[in-house]
Amino acid sequence: MSTEGYNVVFNMLSLGIASMLFTTTFLLVGRERVLPRYRMAVMVSATVTAIAAYHYFRMFDSFVHAFGPDAVAGASYNVGYRYVDWFLTVPLLLVETVAVLALARQAQSSLLVRLVPAAALMIALGYPGDSGMTMGLAPSVWGLLSTIPFLYILYVLFVELGKSLERQSEAVQRKIKELRLLLLATWGVYPIAFIANMNATGFDETSFVLRETGYTIADILAKCLFGLMIFTIARIKSGEEDKEFAKAEFRD
Amino acid sequence: MSTEGYNVVFNMLSLGIASMLFTTTFLLVGRERVLPRYRMAVMVSATVTAIAAYHYFRMFDSFVHAFGPDAVAGASYNVGYRYVDWFLTVPLLLVETVAVLALARQAQSSLLVRLVPAAALMIALGYPGDSGMTMGLAPSVWGLLSTIPFLYILYVLFVELGKSLERQSEAVQRKIKELRLLLLATWGVYPIAFIANMNATGFDETSFVLRETGYTIADILAKCLFGLMIFTIARIKSGEEDKEFAKAEFRD
C-alpha cells in the first residue's frame, strides 16, 4: 500500500478505537445521571461500543500485521472482525432504541422479536459478499439478499414503532425522529462502502481505503453518536418524569 | 536522532501519558465532590484526558518504533495521532467549558452548535499542513485556513459567552476569565509548534523536537490544567448553590 493510503486507514482505525473506548467509559459512568428505568438502555449502548472497541483493536492489529512495516508474509486483513462485531452490535442497537422508550413490556417484546432476528440475518447475509466466500453467488446477490431484512427493519422502526411514539412528549418525539434518521443515514453508508469494494478483482487499494474509511465513519456515527443520543433521550425523559431529578440535574 | 533530542521527546511523551492518565482518574473519582448538575462537565473533562492518554501511549510507541534502539526500517512517527486526538478532544473541551456554566438548555445548545463544528473544522484543516499530505497547497495555507475557525471560536467565547457570565457570581466570573485566558494562551502554542516544523524540508531534528515538546506542554496545560480548573469552578458553584454541600465540603 502507498504511505498515504496506509496512513488514512491506520488513523481511521485508531480513531475508531478511541471513539468506541471512551464513549463506553462515558456511558458507563454516566448511567447514574438517568433514572433507573432508563439505565438498561444506557448500559446496552455502552455494551455496543465496548464490543466495537474490542473489534477495532483487533482490526488495527490485523491491518498493521498485513500492511505495516513489520508485515508478515501471508498475513491478510481480516474483514471478518467487522461482521462478527456487527452480528453482535446491530441487534443490540435496536434493543437500546426500543429500551429507551420504556414501553409496556408486551409492546417491547413484540418489537424485539421482529427486529433482533432481522438484524442478525441482515449481517449474516452481507458477509459472504464482502469476504470473497461467495459460495457461487455474485457479491451483489448477497448484498441484495441482505437488503431485504434491512427494509423490514426500516418498516418496523418507521411504521410500527411510530405508533408507540404518540404517548411520548414532543421533545422526546423529536429526538426519536432524529435518532431514526441517524440510523437510516448511517446504515445507508454500509451498502455504499460494500459496493465500493464489491467489484474489485483482487486487492484494489482505492476501493479498500474507501471501504475501511466508510465503515469506520459509519460505525462511529451509528454506535457512538447513536449511543450518546440514546443517553440524551434518557436524560430528557428522566427530567420530565421526576421533578426532584430535574431539579438536581438541570438548571432550568 | 541524537541521544539528547531522542531523550527530550521520549521523556515529554511519557510526561504526557502520566499527566493525562492520572488527571483522568482524579476527575473520575472526584466527580462526586460536586453537585449532580456539574458532574457532566467533570465527566467530559475526564473523557478528554482519557482520550489523550490513549493517544500518548500510541505516540510513545510510534516514536520508539521509529527512532528507538530497536527501530524498524520503514517505520515513521505518526503525527496523525495528535490530529485524531485533537479532532475528538478540542470540541469536547468546548463542551466542558459550556457545561460547567449550567446555562439554560437553549443558551447551551446555541453555543455548542457553533463551537463544536468550528473546533472540528479547525483541526481537520490543520492536519494536511502538518502531515505532509498537503494536496498541492503550501503548509502555511492550511495553517492560515485553520486559523479562521479558531478566530471564530475566540469570538464566541469572548463576546457571545461573555453575555452569559453576568448572572454568575464574582468568584465564578473571575475563574471563567482565567479559563478563557488559559485556553487562548495554550491554543496559541499549537500554531507556534506548527510553524516550527512547517518549513522543514524532510526530517529536521531541531524542528521535530521543538514541535513535539511544544505540542506536549500545550496539551498538558490545555487538557489537564484546564480540566482541573473546570473542576474548581464546579466546586465553587456547588458551594454557592447548596448550603449543606458547602458545610460538608469546605471549612468556611
Q: In A, which residues are within 8 Å of B43 by CB distance?
A: 26, 29-30
Please, where are the H alpha helices in A31-104? 36-67, 80-99
The closest of B174, B153, B155 to B165, measured between CA atoms, is B174
Write the residue in B36, B44, B103 that is nearest to A248 by C-beta: B36
Residue A11 is placed in which grid cell?
Answer: 488513523
Residue A203 has a pLDDT of 81
Q: How far, in Å, CA of B13 to CA of B6, rounded? A: 11
Domain ranges in chain A are: 3-249
Nearest chain A residue to B75 by CA: give it. A69
From A233, A225, A232, select the one nearest A23 (Cα to Cα): A225
Q: How far apart are CA B204 and CA A231, in angstroms?
A: 47
In this model, does residue A79 exceed pLDDT 90?
no
Q: How many CB pairs under 8 A join A and B?
A: 70
Percent of chain A with pLDDT over 90: 68
Report the pLDDT value the prediction gives residue B19, as an integer from 0 to 100.
98
Whole-angstrom distance, CA of residue B2 vs CA of residue B205: 8
Q: Are the CB atoms for A93 and A137 separated by under 8 Å?
A: no
Beta-strand ranges (E) seen in B72-206 are none
A252: confidence class by pLDDT, cuts 50, 70, 90: low
Measured in angstroms, the CA of B190 and the nearest CA of chain A are apart by: 20
pLDDT of residue B147: 93
Q: What is the CATH number of domain B3-249?
A: 1.20.1070.10
Whether A201 shows a pLDDT value over 80: the answer reads: no
How far is CA B51 from each of CA A15, A17, A21, A38, A149, rounded to the nearest angstrom?
A: 10, 10, 8, 26, 36
